[in-house]
Amino acid sequence: MTQTMASMKLIVTLLVAHIVASASAVSYSRPFWSQTSYGAKTYLNATSAVSDLNVFTNLTVEAIYVSNTSMRLRVYPTSLKAGQEAPYVVPDVVLPGNTAPASATTAATGTVYNLGQHIPAGGGKVLEVVPNSDDDPTAYLTLENLVFNRQLVSFTTSFRGTTDKLYGYGEHDYHYFLNTEDNVTLSLWNTDNGTPWKNPMYGVHPIVFHSDPTNNRHFGVFWANSHAQNIHIEGDAITYTAVGGIIDLYLIFDTTPMGVVQQYHALVGPSAVPPYWALGTHQCRWGYTNLSVVEAVVAGYEAAGIPLEVMWNDIDYMDQFRVFTTDPTRYPQAALKAFVEGLHAKNMRYIQITDPGVAQATDYSVYTSGVAAGVYVNTSTDGKPLINAVWPGWTVFPDFTADKAAQWWAQQIAQYRALVPIDGMWLDMNELGTFCAGQCDVAVGTPWSVDWKTVDWSRFTVDICMPNNCTVVNSSLNYPPENPLFNGYQLYNKTLDMTGVTSLGRYYETKAFYGLMEERASYEALLAQTGERPFLLSRASYAGSGRYTAHWTGDNTATWGPKEGGLYDSVQGVLAANLWGIPMVGADIGGFGGTTSEELVVRWYQLGVFYTFTRNHHDLQGPGQEPYVFSELAQSAIRDAIFTRYRLLPYLFTYLMLANQNQGPVLRHLSLQFPTDSNTYADLMQFMVGDALLVSPVYEQATSDYMARGVYFPAGAWYHLERTTLLGLPTDKGITVIFGFNSTLYGIVPVFVRGGNVIPFHPTPAMTVTATKASGIGLKVFFDRNESSIGQVQIATDAPLESQNVTVVNFLGVGTLRTGSLVTMSATAPKLNPTLTTRVPVYVRFPICDELTPNATINVTIDGVDVTESSLSNFTCSGFDVLLPLGQDGSTVFHLQWTTSGFAPTEAPADAPTSSNTGAIVGGVLGGAAGAVVIAVAVYFLKFRHVANDYNEVPMRQEV
């Protein structure tokens, strides 16, 4: 599709309905649209009597014009027969505005949408959404083979199987592009499921994005449904299935994939901006057996000179694994409080894990206060708290969908923080994850004697659950007519009985957003108690969880390759979470399960410092993987990687702020940034951080001392980040460069900057974020071939954003080395440091290196004052460096101008790379992700201005 969205006219055509029930087909009367104030409406009525109460025979279809680029399609029962139960609709507290009456911001006349009356004879189609374009006849959405029963809602939609790329639907350990394989089923259901290939994991995000780079056609389909569900992709069709609810589809269209994603983020709500300190590095492990071990970890980091911002504790700190307690022997409360206060004195932070399960014990005030307040998920039979088993034994679970439970939870947090002043919360096991299925009929005080260090998980059900009357209610809620979960995974497996009762519905309907409601309650509690933006890390998530929490990819493994749940797959996970609207995301560096290696930890840090959330975390088994336990060489590489991150904190924070302002994800697959370059759809391991940074991590274990990494550069001017040097590549087409490096020295992972961007950075990384921030904000200015460069920095305190005037400084550079300027603009212009003694560096670089004569000179002024002699350094043909006075808030506003004289005549073409011994270029990648063919168009030797021998000459590669 080549026309702009403004000229696009959508036709929504309602066709003959052919609805298939579980036993027989249902025919419906010929429908007719009627215009409404919000769009159009029609009805489908069964033409013959249907006795099955599970089948809805009278349906209303609404087409709601939300805006010129989005619409909503709702199919729901018009009326109910006696004994029929209304389908569940996701409530507003989960998805704001979802249950509001149909309305639209776009008038029904004069819009870019039209409703057609074409009704072809026969067939299984119910609905089509198509563009009104002669050169693009393919429908965006079709509703075919529609089934609308009480516990089975399903429809099939066709798509361009040969050109469409599908992505977004999650959470799984799977390919970024969902249709990488044919005939695949992916299901959604919050499960404590580790990182199993294809199986459902911790989150439910029923959004499928479509991108067709061939026709520049991009749209998204979000199904507002909280039931267990799946999609089946086969050929050129997707079948959506859920075990209840209504068909409530939000359709989003745009001329770019970024525009589609931004509209989806606007729908589910603005993402939370973490406090600045949360961007530092984090350390955790399950198995820090006592406080002395934790103190030793902090000391180990300090002795190694490796920055550590936040120390964490897993469940080890608890008394009998009871939430909001500390073990009196291993983690005595007074000593732990003193330890945390000591961290605070050093500008460090402390976070603990918090599970939702509450031990059922009469000597435990958290439990008894919850009983008194009536805050737990109840059984459907006797209305008493539903019991299952987790770490503390027999356990009950707060019903976070109830306001009174959220208030009670806030009280527990406040009481505990008075004892141990934690700086954030880690919300785990909130899928809900349990150890038995369903519910357990055990009396309060029933003894618990499981030794978690020696437990045989393969026999847990037989040895623990069954003898204690843990069963599943014989109900269609536990055994729906059709199970949509992958590989027959049961709805009740490792979780509560589906008949459990919450304030917003049965657990069958509310489980998907249980974690989100805990996140909401925790966020609001911490915000009220601290007056600062809270930092939460949650394992479970639902559409909109990004409003409250950060996320990590769960219990991963210490492995390298794809389909193993390790380093490679982590990139797919963090990119997907950014699509869902959770920009603050990472993976357990080094791997949570299994025994890692020094090489893997180093490579993972070199990748993980570019996650938005950077944490090293390991399980109870095996040796530790803190950076300081490895060789000096490894420590040096990890330290360098972390210092790179700390320098980039202003850039990372700015893009987290922009994500909150609905300007798109922070971490982006290349295709999201360069949708018209079909080559960007092939590499699943390269990604962008914001608009400017291209990260190409090493994701394979070394087989020799020498390694190579192919990096694809889309068209444009590209620079090396750390050395601020131009790569000298052709700028008019994408090209692949193979970088060689000595694997035994670990080297520096290629991280590059796209020309045309200004990168704000902290000049001097230090051991803490506070100390790093004190060095102010410098700039790296990288011009593109259009002789321009733009950027922004946003500066805020950790207070709520709405309570402060956020400093926003925009940068605009124009010109070449010969003459140009860099102008800054800010609505809240900071004052300069009156002493002008504190200065920050600005590096200005250009895409063409015009050779200078020996007597070449440059004149540089700041706000009209000549600073050539006092502030200028490193003046070469590629650019110059200059020192600028620092603003009192860490930024500065200025007008920088320069003029250069003394250029030597230029004979070589501007795009020709200069000679050196650094790498080979191959390029243009043809075809898709599988079986990509690389055509060698040229071999150049590139000139990098860097420490020698980081990259070595390698032969031409015929494949990447």
DSSP string, 701-746: --SSSEEEEEEEE-SS-EEETTTTEE----SSS-EEEEEEEEGGG-
Q: Is the pLDDT of residue 889 over 90?
A: no
**Does 428 qualify as catalytic in the annotation?**
yes
Give the span between the Cα atoms of 955 and 915, in whole angstroms: 16
Contacts with 372 (C-beta within 8 Å, 6 or more apart), sequence order: none
- First-to-last CA distance in the chain? 30
pLDDT tier, 111 (very low <50, low <70, confident <90, very high otherwise): very low
Q: Which CATH number fits domain 755-903: 2.30.40.10, 2.60.40.1180, 2.20.25.90, 3.40.1350.10?
A: 2.60.40.1180
Cβ atoms of residues 188 and 206 within 8 Å: yes
Q: Report the pLDDT value the prediction gives residue 126, as an integer from 0 to 100.
A: 63
Q: Report the pLDDT value the prediction gives residue 888, as an integer from 0 to 100.
A: 67
Q: Which amino acid is located at 577 in the chain?
A: A
**Active-site residue, selected from the candidate residues 428, 519, 564, 950:** 428
Give the span between the Cα atoms of 869 and 884, in whole angstroms: 13
Mean pLDDT of 808-815: 96
625-678 confidence digits (pLDDT tens): 999 999 999 999 999 999 999 999 999 999 999 999 999 999 999 999 999 999
Looking at 327-336, 414-423, 838-847, which range is the least confident one? 838-847
Q: Is the pLDDT of residue 144 over 70?
A: yes
Cβ atoms of residues 134 and 145 within 8 Å: no
**Active-site residue, selected from the candidate residues 431, 598, 677, 950:** 431
Cβ atoms of residues 937 and 958 within 8 Å: no
Cβ atoms of residues 125 and 19 within 8 Å: no
pLDDT tier, 28 (very low <50, low <70, confident <90, very high otherwise): low
Give the CA diameter of the chain: 95
Q: At what angle do helices 632-647 and 598-608 cross, to 10 degrees?
A: 10
Q: Report the pLDDT value the prediction gives residue 114, as an integer from 0 to 100.
A: 47
393-403 confidence digits (pLDDT tens): 999 999 999 99
In CATH terms, the fold of domain 276-555 is TIM Barrel (3.20.20)
Q: Report the pLDDT value the prediction gives residue 932, as an integer from 0 to 100.
A: 28
pLDDT cut 70: percent of the chain above it: 86
Q: At what angle do helices 632-647 and 649-660 cross, to 10 degrees?
A: 50
DSSP assignment letter at 933 = E
| Annotated domain spans of the chain | 9-268, 276-555, 755-903
Q: Name the token pair of 825.
A: 């603009």
Q: Is the pLDDT of residue 920 over 70?
A: no
**Active-site residue, selected from the candidate residues 173, 399, 555, 950:** 555
Give the span between the Cα atoms of 843 and 836, in whole angstroms: 19
Q: Report the pLDDT value the prediction gives residue 949, as an integer from 0 to 100.
A: 29
Give the span between the Cα atoms of 760 and 929, in whole angstroms: 34
Give the span between the Cα atoms of 286 and 264, in whole angstroms: 36
Residue in this structure with the two tokens 């960007």, named with its chain if needed: 680
Q: Report the pLDDT value the prediction gives residue 10, as an integer from 0 to 100.
A: 37
Nearest one of 820, 847, 879, 610 to 715, comparing CA atoms:
847
Q: Report the pLDDT value the prediction gives residue 918, as an integer from 0 to 100.
A: 32
482-495 confidence digits (pLDDT tens): 999 988 889 999 99
Provide the CATH number for the domain formed by 9-268 in this structure. 2.60.40.1760
344-373 confidence digits (pLDDT tens): 999 999 999 999 999 999 999 999 999 999
Q: Is the pLDDT of residue 136 over 80?
A: no
**Beta strands 439-440 and 585-586: pairing type?**
unpaired
Cβ atoms of residues 62 and 74 within 8 Å: yes
Task: Examine domains 9-268 and 755-903 and report if their fold is the same.
Answer: yes
Q: Report the pLDDT value the prediction gives residue 243, as an integer from 0 to 100.
A: 98
Q: Report the pLDDT value the prediction gives residue 121, as an integer from 0 to 100.
A: 44
CA-derived radius of gyration, the chain? 29
Mean pLDDT of 141-170: 91
Mean pLDDT of 162-187: 94
Half-sphere exposure of 82 (CA within 13 A, CB side): 0
Q: Name the token pair of 406.
A: 């959220």
Half-sphere exposure of 106 (CA within 13 A, CB side): 19
Give the span between the Cα atoms of 353 and 487, in whole angstroms: 31
